[in-house]
Chains A and B, each alone.
Chain A
Amino acid sequence: MEKFLDLTYNGLSSGAVYAALALSLVIIFQATRLVNFAQPAFALVSAYTAFAVIQATDSYWLGFGAALVVGALAGALVERVVIRPIASKSELNAIIVTLGLLLVVQGVIGMVWGSREHGLRYAFDYKGDFSPADVFAVASIAVVAVLVFVLYRFSPLGLRMRAAAFRPEAARLSGVKVGLMLTAGWAIASTIGALAGMLAGPPFLSPHSFDLVFVFAITAAVIGGLDSPFGAILGGLLMGLAMSYVSGYVGPEVATLAALVVVVLVLSLRPDGILSRPKARKV
Chain B
Amino acid sequence: MSTEPILRVEGLDLHYGPVQALHGITLSVPPEGMCAVLGANGAGKTTLLRALSGLHKVSSGKVLLEGEDITRLPAERIITRGLAHVPEGGGVIAELTVEENLRLGGLWRSSRTDKKAMAEVLELFPPLAERRKRPSSTLSGGERQMLAIGRALMAKPRVLLLDEPSLGLAPLITQQIFDLLRDLRKSSGLTVVLVEQNAAGALATTEHGFVLNQGKVAVSGASDELLSDERTRHAYLGF
Could you tell me which A residues sit within 8 Å of B by CB distance?
156, 159-160, 162-163, 166-167, 169-178
Q: Say whether A159 contacts B108, CB under 8 Å.
A: no
Q: Distance in Å from the Cβ of B183 to the closest Cβ of chain A?
A: 23
Q: Say whether B111 contacts A163, CB under 8 Å.
A: no
In the complex, 12 of the A-B residue pairs with CB atoms within 8 angstroms, ordered by the A residue number, are A156-B111, A163-B104, A166-B93, A166-B94, A169-B75, A170-B87, A170-B91, A173-B75, A173-B76, A174-B105, A176-B76, A178-B76
List, in ascending order, chain B residues with CB within 8 A of A166's CB.
93-96
Could you tell me which B residues sit within 8 Å of A by CB distance?
53-55, 74-77, 79-80, 84-85, 87, 91-96, 100, 103-105, 107-108, 111, 151-152, 155
Q: Say whether A173 contacts B55, CB under 8 Å.
A: yes
| New A-B contacts (13) at CB < 8 Å, excluding given A163-B96, A174-B108 | A159-B103, A160-B104, A162-B93, A162-B100, A163-B104, A169-B75, A169-B87, A171-B93, A173-B84, A173-B85, A174-B105, A175-B77, A176-B104
Q: Say whether B100 contacts A159, CB under 8 Å.
A: yes
Q: Distance in Å from the Cβ of A163 to the closest Cβ of chain B?
A: 5
Q: Say whether A162 contacts B155, CB under 8 Å.
A: no
**Inter-chain residue pair count (beta carbon < 8 A):** 68
Most buried by B among A160, A162, A175: A175
Q: Say whether B107 contacts A174, CB under 8 Å.
A: yes
Q: Distance in Å from the Cβ of B10 to the closest Cβ of chain A?
A: 23
Q: Say whether A173 contacts B79, CB under 8 Å.
A: yes
Q: Distance in Å from the Cβ of B158 to the closest Cβ of chain A?
A: 15
Q: Distance in Å from the Cβ of B76 to the closest Cβ of chain A?
A: 5
Q: Which of A167, A169, A174, A178 contacts B79 (CB 8 A)?
A: A174
- Given the known interface contacts A159-B104, A167-B93, the answer about A175 and B80 at a Cβ–Cβ threshold of 8 Å is yes
Q: Say whether A173 contacts B91, CB under 8 Å.
A: yes
List, in ascending order, chain A residues with CB within 8 A of B54's CB.
172
- Given the known interface contacts A159-B103, A162-B95, A166-B96, the answer about A172 and B55 at a Cβ–Cβ threshold of 8 Å is yes
Q: Distance in Å from the Cβ of A176 to the closest Cβ of chain B?
A: 6
Q: Distance in Å from the Cβ of B88 to the closest Cβ of chain A?
A: 11
A173 CA to B78 CA, complexed, in Å: 8
List, in ascending order, chain A residues with CB within 8 A of B93's CB.
162-163, 166-167, 170-171
Q: Say whether B96 contacts A162, CB under 8 Å.
A: yes
Q: Distance in Å from the Cβ of A118 to the closest Cβ of chain B?
A: 43
Q: Distance in Å from the Cβ of B40 to the closest Cβ of chain A?
A: 24
Q: Distance in Å from the Cβ of A277 to the closest Cβ of chain B?
A: 10
Q: Say whether A175 contacts B108, CB under 8 Å.
A: yes
- Given the known interface contacts A159-B103, A169-B91, A170-B87, the answer about A175 and B96 at a Cβ–Cβ threshold of 8 Å is no
- Given the known interface contacts A167-B93, A173-B55, A173-B75, the answer about A159 and B85 at a Cβ–Cβ threshold of 8 Å is no
Q: Say whether A156 contacts B107, CB under 8 Å.
A: yes
List, in ascending order, chain B residues with CB within 8 A of A174's CB.
79, 104-105, 107-108, 151, 155
